[in-house]
Amino acid sequence: MNSSMPSSDKALVVESLTKTYRNGTDTLKVLDNLDFTLEQGTTTVIMGKSGCGKSTFLHVVGGLDKPDSGIITASGVRVDVLKGDKLTVYRREHIGFIFQMHFLLEDFTALENLIVTAMIGGANAAEARRKSLQLLESVGLSQKTENYPGQLSGGERQRVAIARALINDPVLILADEPTGNLDEENSRIIEELLFSVVKKYNKSMLLVTHDANIARFADKSLVLTKGTFKE
Ligand SMILES: Nc1ncnc2c1ncn2[C@@H]1O[C@H](COP(=O)(O)OP(=O)(O)OP(=O)(O)O)[C@@H](O)[C@H]1O
Ligand SMILES: [Mg+2]
């Protein structure tokens, strides 16, 4: 586990989070005094209209963007105040991102994509290979480990992206419409897989989706409107 992070029963606590975008003289308050708590080992689905701020929320929580104000605590550690190397380490060790686009390295096989990520996370070559093969098996890709992303289907690429998000044993998975580019049947399969591996590895997850049917897999489902969450 992440030795740098003290344990806490809350995977994430967000207090009075505000985020404004400024374009010239225009200001857009996307997150407005938002409060949120995610218990360790639980999953929450976030829904809401296009442009309501779902991605912004994930980016701020994941340390990809800065809030105007507010407190973000992940497993007991204040992350809104992290900068530089400490922020990089938080993103790398604590968070597993899954985006709509898979962002796999095209010149690397499925297995190599995972091995590279594991080695960046500090694993030696043998350990990285072992973990990568194990996770590829967990997402049903044992037969495709030597395929390049261009030789995988959209659903298979997202399976690799799910495995990659888990490889450095993060506490929190942040998934932003991970099935947005897939057809309905594949979306369902990948979303079910995502929930099952998150449960298997006892992770916490925030998942943004436009698919109301997905909410039933999650412990909790929230709608983001006017900058805050509604049940
Ligand atoms: N860097 C930026 N500069 C200015 N405005 C931005 C920036 N990023 C996002 N926005 C605006 O903030 C609002 C929230 O964007 P965000 O991407 O969080 O929405 P979303 O809920 O994820 O939408 P979607 O469901 O379409 O992905 C939008 O109105 C968007 O135009
Ligand atoms: Mg978005």
DSSP state of 212: G
Ligand 1 midpoint to CA 110 (Å): 31
Contact 61, 206 (CB under 8 A): yes
Q: How many angstroms is it from 55 CA to the middle of ligand 2?
A: 4
Distance CA 85, CA 88 (A): 5
Ligand 1 atom 14: residue of nearest CA: 53
- For 155-168, the three-class secondary structure string (H helix, E strand, C coil) is HHHHHHHHHHHHCC
Q: By the 8 A CB rule, do 78 and 71 touch? A: yes
Contacts of residue 95, defined as CB under 8 A and 6 or more positions apart, other chains included, come to 62, 63, 170, 171, 172, 173, 174
Percent of the chain's residues with pLDDT above 90: 81
CB-ligand 1 contact for 54 (6 Å cutoff) = yes
Q: CA-CA distance, 142 to 119, in Å (whole number)?
A: 20
The rounded distance, in Å, linking the Cα atoms of 35 and 103 is 30
Nearest CA to ligand 1 atom 16: 53
- 78-125 tens-digit pLDDT: 999 999 999 999 998 999 999 988 789 999 999 999 999 999 999 999
126-152 confidence digits (pLDDT tens): 999 999 999 999 999 999 999 999 999
Taking only the tens place, the pLDDT of each residue in 170-215 is 999 999 999 888 888 888 889 999 999 999 999 999 999 988 888 8
pLDDT of residue 6: 56
Positive or negative: CA dihedral 178, 182, 183, 185: negative
Position 1 pLDDT exceeds 50: no
Q: Which ligand has its closest atom nearest to the C-alpha of 210?
A: 1
Structural class in CATH, domain 41-55+90-230: alpha beta
Q: Is 28 in the pocket of ligand 1 (CB under 6 A)?
A: yes
8 A C-beta contact, residue 221 and residue 44: yes
Helix runs in 95-153, H state only? 110-120, 125-138
**Distances 129 to 51, 75, 112, 162, 204 between C-alpha atoms, Å:** 40, 28, 8, 16, 25
Instruction: Please name the residues in contact with 84: beta carbons below 8 A apart, sequence gap of 6 or more.
Output: none
As a whole number of angstroms, the distance between CA 171 and CA 184 comes to: 29
Rounded to two decimals, the pTM is 0.92
Is residue 50 within 6 Å of ligand 1 at its C-beta? yes
- Smallest-distance ligand from the CA of 27: 1
